[in-house]
Structure 1
Amino acid sequence: MKTLYVRIILTFMLVALVSGIIAFLFSNLYYHAKLKEYNEEKIKEIANEIVYLYENSNGMDIHEFLTSVANMNFQLYLVDQNMVGQQFGDPFRQYELDESIIQSVLDGHTYHGISKFKSNLFVTGFFKDDLKNSIGVPVKVDGVNEALFVRPNVEKQFGEMRIIFSLILGLTFFISMVLIVVFATFLVRPIKRLTKATRKIASGNYEFTLDSHRSDEIGALAKDFERMAKSLKKLDEMRQEFVSNVSHEIQSPLTSIKGFTKAIRSKMVSEEEADHYLAIIEKETSRLSSLSKQLLMLSSLDKEVKAVNKSSFRLDEQIREVVLLTEWEWSKKSIKIELDLPELVIKADKQLLFQVWMNLLTNSIKFTEEDGSIYINATVDEDIIVTVRDTGIGISEEELSQIFDRFYMGDKSRNRTKSGSGLGLSVVKKIVDLHEGSISVTSEIGSGTEFSVRLPR
């Protein structure tokens, strides 16, 4: 398979070749359309001037005269009344000419051969030195008309110019080839670096440098590639951290369940202690169940296994239902819940939106201290806007841009004392996106956090 470097050079050569052919064809067409008649008129004037000079030369020998004219870079052909021709100067390439044309010139008419001469597109008529491509005029020799055919000797008149133009074209093509080889190296070099960087990323190495300071498309590609690499590195780190966190989240309740189960089976604990241990086992089981549900839901949404099944329902009633289901959690911390929910009917996936409000509310309860407050209200403009605001510990400005990233756990010291997997807000964001809505967050450390969900009506 040809490399990009070779492809660039071959493409340039093809472009140069095609451009040269097209330029030649258009130049030839321009000659036939614009310059041929002008060229013929100019040569006809020269031929008439030759005849005039001879006929006023006081009996100069015609052969001597025409030889002198031919030495001034002209091709001449003289035909007498017996159709016998004589060449002066360099010979014509072809002498084929109908006798009727020669006879017409002998009868005193002018032969316009240049305008009538036809050549194919790949041969420029200007340089075709055929007898047909000439001007024929009558000339009186010893009182008798003879036919004189005239055309300039282009090879001698413009031979040096043709060499110069050929050198210019040849050197232009050669120098262009050298320059394209050099410049192609600079064009391909950043792409090679991108290829090497891709291989490094594939092997798990995110440390590399690219020329991202260029202001062209390559520079833009390098910048985007670096951003992608940073995102992949960050995602990889978050995945590793997630595995560690989830392993801890799973191992910790399993250890508790195992220990308390052994204690109960040993019959060495009182009935009151056994009930207490069973309550702990139930709580830890709920934690494991919640974690598995979040993982399965996120995986389902990512693979689009779960379709958005829209139906009309009362949104305000759904949010109140979520508040009632979490009553034990917020009442245990003496958290005050304030609702401002007008009657709202929305067409959406009821099960998925239920998960949105459940995740947002449990998140607020989790990070709101005792005797705090949570405010839930809904408004309507072009869309339906649901706001969940709490007076909790807040989120730092650095974390706000990452809280919707899956596996993100935020402040590690905080999360050691708060259960969670870092998936709840990722699930919320994914569900809102599937409904073609948006979610935003504002927060201040120590003052609380506010989530605003905007959904199409």
Structure 2
Amino acid sequence: MKTLYVRFVVIVTLIIVVSSLLAFVIANVYYQVNLKSYNDKKMMGIANETVALLESTPELQMNDYFHTVANIGYQLYVEDDSGSAVFYGNAFKNESLESGVVNAVLNGEEYHGIAQYPKKLFITGFFDNELQNTVGVPFQYEDKKYALFIRPDIVLQFGEMRIFFAQLLICSVAITILFIFIGTTYIVRPIRNLTAATKKIAEGEYSIQLDVERKDELGTLATSFTRMTESLKQIEEMRQEFISNVSHEIQSPLTSIQGFSQALRTENLSNEEREHYLSIIEEESRRLSVMSKQLLVLSYLDKEHNVIDIDTFNVSEQMKQVIRATEWYWREKELALELELSPVWIKGNKQFIYQVWMNLLYNSMKFTEAGGMISVSIWEDEQDMVHVVIEDTGQGITEEDLPYIFERYYKGDKSRKREGSGSGLGLSIVYKIVQLHKGSVMVQSAVGEGTRFEVILPS
């Protein structure tokens, strides 16, 4: 039972066998509870009519009469008061009777052997070919007492039907098992396809075709698997691009640092040149530092999940700190800032939330042309949710890039040269931090008109 196919076939076959046995037991119980007394009463009526006809028709010969009754589908046992006994019809499998039963019937009592027959679990009593599984009635013939015991002859009455039903049952089980094998193949095939697709994905191959037209659970699974594959493919492409971008961006400042460090060894440098080279080395070092910090932050957020330190702090005051920290940048680009900072408080990790405002505000400043404007608004609504809106008049984001800007490693606007191009991690960090704080972040943008980020956090 190593494969799902074999397991499914075995389990379904066992279900059929067990259910058949249970059905047989239930049918037997139903016979014992409801039908046994009915059959006993019915056979008692037949027995009484049989002896009544014999007693009321003197010209009938008893032996010939009972042979005729036996031939139409009954087994009979007749014993007189002298102990002489005769069997008519097919032989009983067991010809024993409890002591005293014959004498009781000869003395005028009725014998309800069918109703009193012992209960058995798997063999319905109606089919037991035993003398004690009969009904007995007394009668008189030619001034002599007799006891008649009678039951249906199953071989005569149901012989062909028993064979027919046995064959029908065997054929039904055989055909059912055959269709189980065939049907299981149909069920297991898409699972095998999923397994093969999983192996391909593990090997780095994402071009797979699955049957997503099915409307059942397997179709839903195939659809979800296909979506997951497309997502993994996109993530892998972005990861490769990210590695390429980071490698390039690390190599660029390292090359600059190396080149200008060698230039500093030249003895005939002026102080202005030396200061210029040192400032470039400092700037390139800062770029490397920011990139490494972003990677560390994202790695920490992935690992920590919801385990973060919570403080209560004023969001507006924190936003002012971020604006002061970036003052050199927005003043250098001559950007106008419009602030509406209502004093609101939230519970969260102060350091992480600070990183959210820093990333969003720095993005707006970076992609807003000189002389542009950035507006920052903070307020609390009636549902105790804090809204922080950062809006700029910058380059904007294309409609194609907009759905992916929060995915890590993603960098939009590849065709345009953007100053200080980043690593594609800033907005991923924003999204992750806001998500950890049970909040949401939304973005609206149009190329050439600007971008609006809105962060909503519980207070």
TM-score interval, smaller chain = over 0.9
Specify which of 442, 445, 448 is matched with residue 446 of structure 1: 448
Equivalent residue letter for 2:86 = Q
| Structure 1 pair 157–343 and aligned structure 2 pair: CA distance change class (3 A) | same
Counterpart Cα distance in 1 of 2:426 and 2:416? 16
Counterpart Cα distance in 1 of 2:241 and 2:418? 13
Superposed displacement of residue 345, structure 1: 1.6
Equivalent residue letter for 1:444 = A
Superposed displacement of residue 30, structure 1: 1.1
Equivalent residue letter for 2:44 = K
Query: 2:289 is matched with which residue?
Result: 289
Query: 1:396 is matched with which residue?
Result: 398
Superposed displacement of residue 417, structure 1: 3.4
Query: 2:219 is matched with which residue?
Result: 219
Calculate the aligned-residue CA RMSD, in Å.
1.3
Matched-pair contact (CA < 8 Å) for 2:306–2:436: no
Superposed displacement of residue 269, structure 1: 1.7
Query: 2:435 is matched with which residue?
Result: 433
Query: 2:128 is matched with which residue?
Result: 128
Query: 1:376 is matched with which residue?
Result: 376
Equivalent residue letter for 1:262 = Q
The 5-angstrom pairing of residues 29-428 of structure 1 reads: 29-304=29-304, 307-381=307-381, 382=383, 383-414=385-416, 417-428=419-430
Equivalent residue letter for 1:131 = L
Superposed displacement of residue 278, structure 1: 1.1
Counterpart Cα distance in 1 of 2:405 and 2:209? 29
Counterpart Cα distance in 2 of 1:413 and 1:207? 27
| Structure 1 pair 56–201 and aligned structure 2 pair: CA distance change class (3 A) | same
- In terms of mean alpha carbon deviation, does 204-213 or 290-299 score higher? 204-213
Counterpart Cα distance in 2 of 1:305 and 1:315? 23
Superposed displacement of residue 144, structure 1: 2.1
Counterpart Cα distance in 1 of 2:307 and 2:138? 96
Matched-pair contact (CA < 8 Å) for 1:75–1:150: yes
Superposed displacement of residue 218, structure 1: 1.2
Secondary structure of 2:404's counterpart equals coil
Superposed displacement of residue 162, structure 1: 1.0
| Structure 1 pair 35–410 and aligned structure 2 pair: CA distance change class (3 A) | same
Secondary structure of 1:303's counterpart equals helix
Matched-pair contact (CA < 8 Å) for 1:442–1:449: yes
Matched-pair contact (CA < 8 Å) for 1:300–1:306: no
Aligned length: 457
Secondary structure of 1:422's counterpart equals coil
Deviation per CA, 1:418-446, whole angstroms, max 9, x where unpaired? 33110000001111111111111111111
Superposed displacement of residue 413, structure 1: 2.9
5+ residue gaps, structure 2 = none
Equivalent residue letter for 1:394 = G
Q: What is the TM-score normalised by the length of structure 2?
A: 0.97
Matched-pair contact (CA < 8 Å) for 1:206–1:233: yes
Deviation per CA, 1:1-46, whole angstroms, max 9, x where unpaired? 5211111211121011011101101111111122112211111111
Structure 1 vs Structure 2: percent identity of aligned residues? Answer: 49
Counterpart Cα distance in 2 of 1:243 and 1:135? 94
Equivalent residue letter for 1:107 = N
- In terms of mean alpha carbon deviation, does 64-73 or 422-431 score higher? 64-73
Superposed displacement of residue 64, structure 1: 2.2
Secondary structure of 2:454's counterpart equals strand
Secondary structure of 2:339's counterpart equals strand
Counterpart Cα distance in 2 of 1:130 and 1:172? 31
Equivalent residue letter for 1:430 = K
Counterpart Cα distance in 2 of 1:152 and 1:198? 65
Superposed displacement of residue 416, structure 1: 5.3
Counterpart Cα distance in 2 of 1:376 and 1:345? 16
5+ residue gaps, structure 1 = none
Counterpart Cα distance in 2 of 1:213 and 1:305? 37
Matched-pair contact (CA < 8 Å) for 1:108–1:145: no
Matched-pair contact (CA < 8 Å) for 1:107–1:138: yes
Q: What is the TM-score normalised by the length of structure 1?
A: 0.97
Counterpart Cα distance in 2 of 1:184 and 1:129? 43
Counterpart Cα distance in 2 of 1:274 and 1:175? 92
Counterpart Cα distance in 2 of 1:224 and 1:305? 25
Deviation per CA, 1:368-406, whole angstroms, max 9, x where unpaired? 001111111112122111111111100011111100000
Counterpart Cα distance in 1 of 2:61 and 2:74? 18
